[in-house]
Amino acid sequence: MPVNVLLPNAFQKHTNGTREIKLEAKNLPELIAGLEANFPELKQHLRDGDGKVRRFINFYVNDEDIRFLGEDKYAFKDGDEVLVIPSIAGGCC
Amino acid sequence: MASSYELRCRECGKRFDIQPLSICDDCFSPLEVVFDLPAIKSKFTREAIAQGPWNMWRYRALLPVPDSYIPVTPSGMTPLMAAPRLAKRIGAKNLYLKNDAVCLPTLSFKDRVVSVALAAAQGFGFDTVGCSSTGNLANAVAAQAARLGLKTCILVPADLEPAKILNTQIYGATLVRIDGNYDHCNRLCSQIADRFNWGFVNVNLRPYYAEGSKTFGFEIAEQLGWRLPDNVVVPMAGGSLITKIRKAFQELIDLGLVEPKTVRFFGAQATGCSPIVQAVKKGGEHIEPQRPQTIARSLAIGNPADGPYAARAIRESGGWAEDVSDVEIVSAIRELAETEGVFTETAGGVTTAVTARLYAHGRISPDDLTVVAITGNGLKTLDALDGKFEQLPAIRPRLADFEEAYLDRIQPGRAPAQPAAPAVEGAYAR
């Protein structure tokens, strides 16, 4: 399933300035693997010492936080747009 | 450090020069301002502070603003009020309110953080500033940007309380209404900030903005005669304020302005949006995002950026966190107003109701000195009180009508007065 992925500025140092990429991915783990395959340098930054994706990185599918859609279990649909935002800004008190 | 402060990653510790940046480019975690405390020690003394203005800028040596910045808005130094009547109601004996419902210029604690963020924005040369907001922040950015002559781009959920929308537009701000909740606003805000070279107070200026919250803690300590309270009860949305009050207290201890002490921190959220409270109750720092559903809109952040740090601060301090229902929030707004004459918004209702519960459950000992953080003004969330007050029929302007309809409400059990008898010396004519 081709998925359009929008990358944040914070990633661009590790993606040679790429802001947007189309990836074949059925679900989130495949999408992350696809990102790492395209941008090998990103991998060490994307994951913590235990190999887990860092907790401050958020993935949104269209308008929804992927955690509300089942996270890893969510199956991407044709035309899905995935937005990656690290450490989303915190609001009030 | 060339300056007295720098940016540092809260996770990997990587250091950065002063710049408009909030995310580590190595591990994508949030950045924080760290001060070189030994270098500041000679400047940040009780005496030096006492010479400063009677507002938050008296603590500017520990605020990340350019040396050349001249403050234009006297935010902060709000009352720290003893609250004996509320205390009696809830079983406390030594209770104080830190009342940012009267913070200048827009009646919420957000005026503090925006003061610092916009000072930094000017230093970085931004001509446009903005934020995503649940309302109070929008008001604060709009007002202070007007005063500094900056252009604005302010994102809010479209269904925000009308008062908070009006209180942004009045300052001539460009208000972008988003068909979604605060978390949606936030996400778009991050994208806009990535695209345009503007200063967003809670995105690329966030490390600076967040430091402004420390003044809430500095003031508590100074107003208590340079000592720390036993407990602080703080409302939580993004989770930043509670961590920054703690940071403020620690800086005061490190600089020798107060005696070392472990202050316990208690967090308050509405049940309809309580991701940080749930993390605390489960004993961890993992934040499970929620879809907010509460009248406490200013706390309705389902994915709180500082949630893990807030949960950690609470746990490490030996405190606790509680959540309360919308019904309890409204009751608490009324209780605070009726006992202490302080009209707070829904967030203050959350904090007051949680405080009552903490005493009721024995989480706080009655003799402890406890400060309750009241962060916003009730005039901004009047709709939360719609239909809560009975309006009696109007009466004719006649004494008999008054006595008939109202006397018993004002002084229950008192019979209407008899025609006045001649006054007797030494007696009180009732």
Q: Which of B27, B110, B305 sits opposite A89 (nearest CB)?
A: B305
Q: Mean per-residue pLDDT for B393-420?
A: 86
> Is B28 in contact with A92 (Cβ distance < 8 A)?
no
Least Cα separation, residue A84 to chain B (angstroms): 10
Domain membership flag for residue A17: yes
Q: Would you say residue B87 has pLDDT above 90?
A: yes
| Predicted confidence band of residue B3 (pLDDT cuts 50, 70, 90) | confident
* Range scoring the smallest mean pLDDT among A40-54, B87-101, B129-143, B210-224: A40-54
> Is A92 in contact with B134 (Cβ distance < 8 A)?
yes
How many domains are contained in chain A? 1
Report the residue of B11, B26, B27 to disrupt the A interface, i.e. the one with the largest count of A CBs within 10 Å.
Answer: B27
Find chain A residues with C-beta within 8 A of B241's C-beta: 92-93
Domain membership flag for residue A92: no
Domain membership flag for residue A60: yes
| Predicted confidence band of residue B210 (pLDDT cuts 50, 70, 90) | very high
Question: How confident is the model at residue B393, as a pLDDT?
Answer: 87
> Is A10 in contact with B25 (Cβ distance < 8 A)?
yes
Of B294, B302, B243, B298, which Cα lies nearest the Cα of B276? Answer: B302
Order the strands of the B95-99 sheet from edge to edge: B80-82, B95-99, B370-374, B231-235, B264-270, B320-324
ipTM, 2 dp: 0.90
Rounded Cα distance, A12 and B149, in Å: 33
Question: How confident is the model at residue A88, as a pLDDT?
Answer: 66
For chain B, list the domains and their CATH numbers: 5-70+110-209 (3.40.50.1100), 80-106+213-385 (3.40.50.1100), 391-418 (no CATH)
- CATH number, domain of A50, equals 3.10.20.30
Find chain B residues with C-beta within 8 A of A10's C-beta: 23-25, 28
Q: Would you say residue B239 has pLDDT above 50?
A: yes
What is the tens place of the pLDDT at every residue in B8-23?
A: 999 999 999 999 999 9
Tell me the pLDDT of chain B averaged across its residues: 94
Question: How confident is the model at residue B100, as a pLDDT?
Answer: 98
Least Cα separation, residue B228 to chain A (angstroms): 21
> Is B29 in contact with A91 (Cβ distance < 8 A)?
no
What residues form DSSP beta bridges with B32?
B8
The angle formed by the CA atoms of residues A91, B1 and B7, to the nearest 5 degrees, is 15
Rounded Cα distance, B220 and A92, in Å: 20
Q: Mean per-residue pLDDT for B225-232?
A: 98
Rounded Cα distance, B220 and B217, in Å: 5
What is the tens place of the pLDDT at every residue in B115-156?
A: 999 999 999 999 999 999 989 999 999 999 999 999 999 999
Question: How confident is the model at residue B429, as a pLDDT?
Answer: 42
Domain membership flag for residue A93: no
Find chain B residues with C-beta within 8 A of A54's C-beta: 11, 27-29
Question: How confident is the model at residue A63, as a pLDDT?
Answer: 83
Supply the pTM of this predicted model: 0.93
Strands B5-9 and A20-24 turn out to be: unpaired
What residues form DSSP beta bridges with B154?
B131, B175
> Is A45 in contact with B26 (Cβ distance < 8 A)?
yes
Q: Which of B26, B110, B190 sits opposite A85 (nearest CB)?
A: B190
Domain membership flag for residue A87: no
Q: Would you say residue B2 has pLDDT above 80?
A: no
> Is B23 in contact with A54 (Cβ distance < 8 A)?
no
What is the tens place of the pLDDT at every residue in B191-208?
A: 999 899 999 999 999 999
Question: How confident is the model at residue B320, as a pLDDT?
Answer: 98
Q: What is the four-CA torsion angle of B226, B230, B236, B241, rounded to 10 degrees?
A: 20
Of A6, A22, A49, A60, which Cα lies nearest the Cα of B27? Answer: A49
Q: Mean per-residue pLDDT for B55-76?
A: 96
Least Cα separation, residue A83 to chain B (angstroms): 9
By C-alpha distance, the chain B residue nearest A57 is: B28
Question: How confident is the model at residue B369, as a pLDDT?
Answer: 98
Find chain A residues with C-beta within 8 A of B288's C-beta: 67
Q: Which of A8, A68, A92 sits opposite B194 (nearest CB)?
A: A8
Report the residue of B7, B114, B190 to disrupt the A interface, i.e. the one with the largest count of A CBs within 10 Å.
Answer: B190
Domain membership flag for residue A41: yes
What is the tens place of the pLDDT at every residue in B298-347?
A: 898 898 989 999 999 999 999 999 999 999 999 999 999 999 999 999 99
Tokens of B132: 């995503």
Q: Mean per-residue pLDDT for B408-428?
A: 68
**Number of A–B residue contacts, CB under 8 Å:** 119
What is the tens place of the pLDDT at every residue in B272-282?
A: 999 999 999 99
Pick A53 or B257 by higher pLDDT: B257
Q: Would you say residue B421 has pLDDT above 60?
A: no
Find chain B residues with C-beta within 8 A of A6's C-beta: 191
> Is B194 in contact with A55 (Cβ distance < 8 A)?
no
| Predicted confidence band of residue B423 (pLDDT cuts 50, 70, 90) | low
Q: Would you say residue B1 has pLDDT above 60?
A: no
By C-alpha distance, the chain A residue nearest B182 is: A91
| Predicted confidence band of residue B430 (pLDDT cuts 50, 70, 90) | very low
Q: Mean per-residue pLDDT for A72-92?
A: 83
> Is A54 in contact with B137 (Cβ distance < 8 A)?
no
Q: Would you say residue B293 has pLDDT above 80?
A: yes
Q: Which of B187, B286, B375 sits opposite A83 (nearest CB)?
A: B187
Residues spanned by the domain of A27: 2-80
Tokens of B58: 């008296």
> Is A92 in contact with B237 (Cβ distance < 8 A)?
yes
Report the residue of A19, A47, A93 to disrupt the B interface, i.e. the one with the largest count of B CBs within 10 Å.
Answer: A93
> Is B187 in contact with A88 (Cβ distance < 8 A)?
yes
Domain membership flag for residue A38: yes
Domain membership flag for residue A70: yes
Q: Which of B26, B190, B308 sits opposite A89 (nearest CB)?
A: B190
What is the tens place of the pLDDT at every residue in B366-391?
A: 999 999 999 999 999 999 999 999 88
B290 near B302, Cβ under 8 Å? yes
Question: How confident is the model at residue B377, as a pLDDT?
Answer: 96
Q: Would you say residue A69 has pLDDT above 80?
A: yes
For the residues of B250-293, what is the DSSP string, one character each? HHHHHTTSS-----EEEEEEETTB-HHHHHHHTTS---------
Q: Would you say residue B161 has pLDDT above 90?
A: no
| Predicted confidence band of residue A93 (pLDDT cuts 50, 70, 90) | low
Question: How confident is the model at residue B183, as a pLDDT?
Answer: 83
Cis-peptide into B105, omega within 30 deg: yes
